[in-house]
Amino acid sequence: MPASPRLGGAIPSAHAPAELDPLLLWPALGLLFFGLVMVYSASIATAEGSRFTGFSSSYFLIRHGFFLAIGLVAGVMAFQIPVRFWQQVAPWLFVAGVVLIAVVLVPHIGRAVNGAQRWIPLGPVNLQPSELMKLFAVLYAADYTTRKLADMDSFRRGFVPMAVVMLLVGGLLLREPDFGAFVVIISIAMGILFLGGINARLFGILFVVLLLAFIFLIWTSPYRRERIFGFMDPWQDAFGKGYQLSHALIAFGRGEWFGVGLGASVEKLFYLPEAHTDFLLAVIAEELGLAGVVGVVGLFALVVQRCFAIGRQSIALDRVYGGLVAQGIGLWLGVQSFINMGVNMGLLPTKGLTLPLMSFGGSGLLANCIALAILLRIDYENRSVMRGQRV
């Protein structure tokens, strides 16, 4: 049997299955199931104290477990779909995402919580289109860049069409408002364009323009300005605009090296708002200490590293679309987890972004699981191609 020039070994039978990447699969599953444990720990007091939960301490555990099961089933189904199919439907998925974001803003359809209208009620669950839009943005931006590779040096043909659709999405997201999702989706689109070979000088100019636009959006929005001032000195108004951050920092301080013990957090007892969603990492820090936080950061770093490694391998095999999707997923998980961790640690202003793969939220878990399944499919097809098999 002839040796494979790429793998340096024998080519297996055409019917032999290509294995999955264990350095991606197990860390991702570890984050998903560790998130289930920590959501339960962080939400017990909230569940027991809310009349909407029936005063059941396991309310959020049951819902998160249900969402996780749905996400894993959807992921298994998504893994069966060839990458070329995702490329074919990417524009239509993107259009569907834009429609859903627009529907959220329709009175009496979209549901408002804490001043933000981001959800569509679907019986016992709520759909958050902006979470699905992150996945659709990855698929669409990769497809657009693949089709426009020859025009990446052109401002008019390479950048303007993508900028127009992203401005449309951004405008809808800012109406909700969901500034965090806006930042993540713009980062995905710009990152994939950069990886696709957009002119470096043009990219630098656009980066500066975007930075100035973000500053303008923050400065012209009173509540965003308050968050910036609260971030700069949370102790100046610890019971007002600095409340969330000050209690997150207290949680980190109490955790020290190895934490106060799983389930023993004090901050989750109605002191730290959104403990099971936006500030889950603070609860991890308090209960498991620096060791727990380093473990979570390490797992995320490994998942993101594998995204980019799979992407580079796919591009080297002349499977450009799959490569850009893999790297786009890495950008998504990396940027969102970095922002969430930075907010929890007081390194970034408070922003309503969940921790991917871990925080409570059905739409986010569903999008994350499907994204991981597509990533595993890209790796599976890469390995099949390297074995000389057709995909």
Enclosing H/E stretch for 337: helix 320-345
- By CB atoms closer than 10 A (0-12, 13-18, 19+), residue 201 is exposed
- Give me the pLDDT at residue 345, please: 92
How much is the pLDDT for 47?
87
> pLDDT of 212-227, one tens digit each?
877 777 777 676 667 6
Phi/psi of residue 126, nearest 5 degrees? -120, 135
Structure confidence at residue 1 (pLDDT): 34
Instruction: Give the residue among 267, 318, 258 at the shortest CA–CA distance from 291.
Output: 258
pLDDT score, position 224: 67
What is the structure's pLDDT at 12? 37
Low-confidence ranges of the chain (pLDDT < 70): 1-18, 51-55, 221, 223-225, 227-233, 235, 237, 390-391
pLDDT in tens, 129-152: 999 999 999 999 999 999 988 887
SS3 for 10? strand
Buried b (16+ CB within 10 A) or exposed e, 64-77: beebbeebbebbee
